[in-house]
């Protein structure tokens, strides 16, 4: 049995620089910066005081008010991005077999806001005052479940949680399921909304976030010599994956094709990447082999690029090793310079951007990349977007605990 091809036919995004895939993409090309002082709570007593928040988001545009009150903010994001993706794919009006359609939406932390609000109520008012929807609001799987209910997706359902690589894992799992013939359509991605005092404070204490409070717009600076940590963000990214012939038969617009996926573990440390980058190298090599291509076929890499000293150095070194003589011709950029680190949603937002890069032949920039680091020597597409003919692109995602994922995206042709 031939391996089935997998198309991307719909995109949805909720990000700090744009709501909707089109707005997100336009902002990326313009190098727009979504970082500013936190408004979700008073950050005065925190050592870091900035984040990339989603502004002007109104869940009632996608969810009825009564239902929205029973959901956490991360679920609002996930459902909104899912509705956008389904509409973009033309699947809200087209008929499809619900038993052959699934949903995989994960999150790194899930209902952080609900947990903190619940704890305050418990300690101040007692257990009987807790919201009856407390448990269902905080569960990571609830976004996937509610999306399946809304659209009648009765096939495969799951909700991975692999820290920062969650979104890429969700999309990679969906790719495999369609390849194997177990589904024709899967809505996949991730959502996160953890800019809350407890979650934010926890990341402050492990000293992984930037403390550039006097220069917030330049705090997220992947691969720059003066980087001092990541900037927390929030949002969601959703892609509609569809078996190629299924998409063609219904006349769907096809953005791109996913052709390769790799997933490995460092098995090394709680937070730090393996300094030798063996897991990162292996995941990229696995994804390239799965796609059946050579390193020289890849034109662009959407890097994990967190703006942390260890990650950026290790990722740069590994890319140089994997791509060898082709490295000087590679374009590499990190959209986290503009949207911050969306945590569990980072990989999904990055995949939306990567698909659009391949579709439009444009590489978004790495803004704030001002001072070259002698240990980060790639072409990071500094400051401004660049046109580039892209047949293949790769998207990297690496998470706390050593989880690595890499996806390969190919320009669609009707061959």
- pLDDT category at 1 given cuts 50, 70, 90 is low
Residues 381-409: tens digit of each pLDDT: 999 999 999 999 999 999 999 999 999 99
**341, 369, 376, 395: which is the annotated catalytic residue?**
341
Residue 40 falls in the annotated catalytic set: no
**Residue 403 has what pLDDT?**
96
CA pair distance 258, 236, nearest whole angstrom? 20
Q: φ and ψ at 166, to 5 degrees?
A: -55, -50
**Residue 339 has what pLDDT?**
98
- pLDDT category at 14 given cuts 50, 70, 90 is very high
DSSP-derived secondary structure for 133-191:
THHHHH-TTHHHHHHHHHHT--S-EE----GGGHHHHHHHHHHHHHHTTS-SEEEEEEE
Residues 89-126: tens digit of each pLDDT: 999 877 899 999 999 999 999 999 999 999 999 999 99
**Residue 108 has what pLDDT?**
98
Residues 341-371: tens digit of each pLDDT: 999 999 999 999 999 999 999 999 999 999 9
**164, 194, 204, 376: which is the annotated catalytic residue?**
164
- pLDDT category at 322 given cuts 50, 70, 90 is very high
**Residue 220 has what pLDDT?**
98
Residues 193-222: tens digit of each pLDDT: 999 999 999 999 988 999 999 999 999 999
Residue 304 falls in the annotated catalytic set: yes
**Residue 274 has what pLDDT?**
84
Integer CA distances (angstroms), 369 to 30, 33, 183, 290, in order: 15, 13, 42, 32
Q: Which domains does the chain have, with CATH numbers?
A: 6-249 (3.40.47.10), 261-410 (3.40.47.10)
Give, for 237, the enclosing helix (H) or strand (E): strand 235-243
**Residue 407 has what pLDDT?**
99
Mean pLDDT score, 45-74: 97
**Residue 95 has what pLDDT?**
87
pLDDT at 2 over 80: no
Provide, rounded to the nearest whole percent, the portion of the chain with pLDDT above 90.
95
Provide, rounded to the nearest whole percent, the portion of the chain with pLDDT above 70.
100
pLDDT at 271 over 90: no
20: DSSP letter: S
**304, 376, 395, 406: which is the annotated catalytic residue?**
304
pLDDT at 28 over 90: yes
CA pair distance 275, 202, nearest whole angstrom? 24
pLDDT at 415 over 80: no
CA pair distance 211, 225, nearest whole angstrom? 15
3-state SS of 182-215 is CCCEEEEEEEECCCCHHHHHHHHHCCCECCCCCC
């Amino acid at each position: 049995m031939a391996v089935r091809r997998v198309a991307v036919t719909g995109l949805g995004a909720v990000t700090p620089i744009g709501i909707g895939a089109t707005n997100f993409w336009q902002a990326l090309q313009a190098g727009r910066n979504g970082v500013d002082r936190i408004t979700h709570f008073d950050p005065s007593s925190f050592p870091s005081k900035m984040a990339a928040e989603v502004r002007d988001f109104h869940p009632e545009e996608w969810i009825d008010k009564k239902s929205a009150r029973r959901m956490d903010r991360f679920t609002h994001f996930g459902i909104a991005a899912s509705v956008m993706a389904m509409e973009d794919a033309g699947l809200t009006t087209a008929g499809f077999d619900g038993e052959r359609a699934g949903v995989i939406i994960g999150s790194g932390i899930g209902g952080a806001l609900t947990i903190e609000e619940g704890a305050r109520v418990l300690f101040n008012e007692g257990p009987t005052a807790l919201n009856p929807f407390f448990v269902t609001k905080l569960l990571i799987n609830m976004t996937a479940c509610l999306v399946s209910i809304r659209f009648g997706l009765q096939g495969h359902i799951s909700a991975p949680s692999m820290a920062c690589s969650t979104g890429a894992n969700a999309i990679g799992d969906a790719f495999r399921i369609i390849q194997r013939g177990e589904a024709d359509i899967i809505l996949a991605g991730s959502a996160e909304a953890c800019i809350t005092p407890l979650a934010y404070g926890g990341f402050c204490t492990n000293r992984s976030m930037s403390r550039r409070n006097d220069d917030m717009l330049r705090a997220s600076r992947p691969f720059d010599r003066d980087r001092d940590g990541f900037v927390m963000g929030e949002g969601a990214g959703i892609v509609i994956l569809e078996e190629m012939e299924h998409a063609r038969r219904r006349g769907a617009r096809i953005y791109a094709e996913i052709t390769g996926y790799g997933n490995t573990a460092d098995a090394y440390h709680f937070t730090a990447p393996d300094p030798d980058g063996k897991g990162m190298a292996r995941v990229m090599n696995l994804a390239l082999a799965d796609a059946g291509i050579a390193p020289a076929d890849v034109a662009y890499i959407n890097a994990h690029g967190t703006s942390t000293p260890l990650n950026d150095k290790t990722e740069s070194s590994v890319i140089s090793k994997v791509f060898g003589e082709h490295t000087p011709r590679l374009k590499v950029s990190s959209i986290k310079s503009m949207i911050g680190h969306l945590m569990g949603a980072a990989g999904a937002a990055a995949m939306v951007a990567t698909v659009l890069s391949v579709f439009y032949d444009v590489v978004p920039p790495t803004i704030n990349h001002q001072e070259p680091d002698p240990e980060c020597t790639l072409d990071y597409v500094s400051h401004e977007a660049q046109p580039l003919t892209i047949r293949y692109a790769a998207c990297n995602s690496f998470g706390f605990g050593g989880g690595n994922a890499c996806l390969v995206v190919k320009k669609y042709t009707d061959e």
